[in-house]
A and B are shown apart, each in its own frame.
Chain A
């Protein structure tokens, strides 16, 4: 490793997290349904109750969960090619779900895949600790390459100029250099009202990206004062797979240093891809590892980072490899199409769900988005939703806020509801008793209705409950706690 130590870092990575949805679609399922070659491996699929915003919240929760000694983000930059809302800021939902201070700033950088690196560069330019949230849902028409090769997921990266309130050593990685190139050409595009994107012939993209990627990479290496052979891990992100392969071959970085793109287990997550791949690399990296992250999207951006000693003591609460291992590939292709609104099924004989109303959602934003209940200061009773009058001792206005999003619990009782409206029948309704006391009733998600049982452990997850009249109803559900050990155990008992 040559010369990098002399360069002053342009920024610091203070925290990171990636979120992969639970569901996987085996590519063979697509092939079997359409009578085509489906391909190998599987892709991640955002559930019916997830979108880019809700997945962004989950990634951000992972990134901030182990935030001891790290500053709270003053800004949230949310990037996605598929925003849930236009006109309205989606980053505010994330800001609210994280319980961040109203004095901060949240903004969207949305529409194009390139917005992702744009948010990272903007964060590095920011004077305040800034959380970058990258999220995407990649879907094309049935039978398209995008449907097969795409993936859904999110990543969150916390950047700061200072190294955190605890002083030296809290940065997990120093950002050594950033360099970009910009080129106007038709590679991939999607009309404002279109669901799936178009791509020009990939050989053309390969041709157009080649010099842009090489030039940005060379510039970044120069700024960092190092050469390509000093790169220990090279992440190449981009939706044009031919172009990324070509750059890998021409980068001058050894083959062994080129990072696997997780195409077989995740798929290409577009805007989120560089963040998810970086999280996976950081999950395994040792201190003093030099990482280059090159993203090919309407030009190229190369970012060079070097991990610090602090990474030794940091462990993401949920690693990328764990989430890959814990997915379920029981998803049917027809269910996937239904969730993506490409297969219109007969609705139940029940009224259409009502959208949430703005004023009550505003009045209870701390509860609805942040899952903050109230706790009675007289008798310690927890109330979800928050209540002014204690249900136990009847004291009035003796409550303090009780954030419950990170508290686990157990299923006290549950039922499988075949009558209620849900895009994934049957619904599972459960009564959850929280660790340390308190109760909440909610729907379970990412759950198998035939095996879930009283006593199972659950955790809270931020979801899009439904969309009605163009309004997304975000709120919290519970999901079974899964870990690699229990998953392996379940398999060995034939469950």
Chain B
């Protein structure tokens, strides 16, 4: 019984990502076509060369037909996956394992979501028929429970903590302003963030990620074949997934200052990738900043900061674009936007650009030039107390 991982067995050789935002003129089909076409072009491949597909969407379609119909792929295998907000990463995971197994030579993962067609504020779920006993709640309300819990546990003044959250939003907007594909491309001031209308608890509108449309795609081949398609592949070092027991609202020992699923999935990923000092070894990380307190908690859960000290590192600029460990250099969910099924692959797209030196100069992280070769994506579904967590690690070099 062991989770061994597939380090260096498969490589990403092409990627595509649409801009995220309000695509009033694009259907989910259009977004799938745009992201997959860009990915194929980047690898100089045609659609016919792809052997199998994984498509992730939380609610913008169903079954493999949503991709095979859009791309007219013929009778190729297409698997539709869903794992809440970690759906995009789940699609990539399926494609990678399929190639690692030897079943296929070339596989494609596509993540897509069309949120703006509903006309609703925030995210909307469509739960199955139920007994009506689940409390009516929202994602910002669930994640806002992190803030008072953290403040209480570590004795941080709530106003100080509010500034930390605002600082995270300012950073991600700063990065998003340097990304032509991001939903929000404007820098914002601390005052704008902290003064934005309250949504839930301490969270204002500017503490929440963007509701948007978008798609992203990746093409995966066996690592040994990677150089047939590109001079600069990304080798998959780790793919780790943890679905918790969803007992945070049952277990009175859970204290809302951590995602245990993130801790376990990241430790598993570091083991697969052979990483012992994540903050010192990673060049960058894309993390699931659905709400600003989430990013703070993730810094500690992923081992980038000591427990109770993450807020100080945020204020010190450790995770800024020019900091020691740049976090969300593409703007993150906050500024790039969060089309659920696409986000995990969008994170990987930023690793694809940054680690291979293809990011635009105005947002290129300095750590890559300094010799670091590894990037991490962290994708979260659910919320505090009941979450699924994905951690992926990729690198430009094969390990010894």
Contact = CB atoms under 8 A, between A and B. Distances in A.
Interface in B5-39: none
B131 A439 contact: no
A350 B138 CA distance: 10
Interface stretch (A74-82, A135-143, A230-238, A354-362): A354-362
A382 to B, nearest CB: 7
A415 B199 CA distance: 10
B139 to A, nearest CB: 9
Given A349-B120, A419-B138, A361 B250 contact: no
B49 interface: no
Interface string A329-369: 00000000000000000001111011111011101100110
Contacts of B246: 391
A105 interface: no
B252 interface: yes
Interface of B: 118-122, 124, 127, 129-133, 135-138, 140-142, 144-145, 148-149, 152, 197-201, 245-247, 249-252, 254, 256, 385
30 contacts: A351-B124, A354-B127, A354-B129, A354-B130, A357-B132, A360-B129, A360-B130, A361-B131, A361-B132, A364-B131, A367-B133, A368-B132, A381-B250, A384-B250, A392-B247, A412-B252, A415-B141, A415-B142, A416-B198, A417-B141, A418-B200, A419-B121, A419-B122, A419-B138, A431-B145, A434-B252, A438-B250, A441-B249, A465-B132, A466-B136
A422 interface: yes
A242 B14 CA distance: 86
A382 B251 CA distance: 8
B252 A350 contact: no
A223 B332 CA distance: 83
Interface of A: 348-351, 353-357, 359-361, 363-364, 367-368, 381-385, 387, 391-392, 412-422, 427, 429, 431, 433-434, 437-443, 454, 465-466, 473, 475
**Main SS at interface, chain B:** loop
Given A413-B256, A415-B200, A439-B252, A420 B131 contact: no
A474 B303 CA distance: 44
B207 to A, nearest CB: 12
Nearest to B124: A351
B252 to A, nearest CB: 4
Contacts, number: 131
A473 B141 CA distance: 22
A415 B198 CA distance: 11
Given A350-B120, A356-B132, A357-B129, A415 B145 contact: yes
B136 A356 contact: no
A415 B132 contact: no
B215 to A, nearest CB: 24
Nearest to A417: B141
A350 B126 CA distance: 12
A420 B124 contact: no
B138 A360 contact: no
B252 A421 contact: no
Contacts of B121: 348-350, 419
B135 A439 contact: no
A472 to B, nearest CB: 9
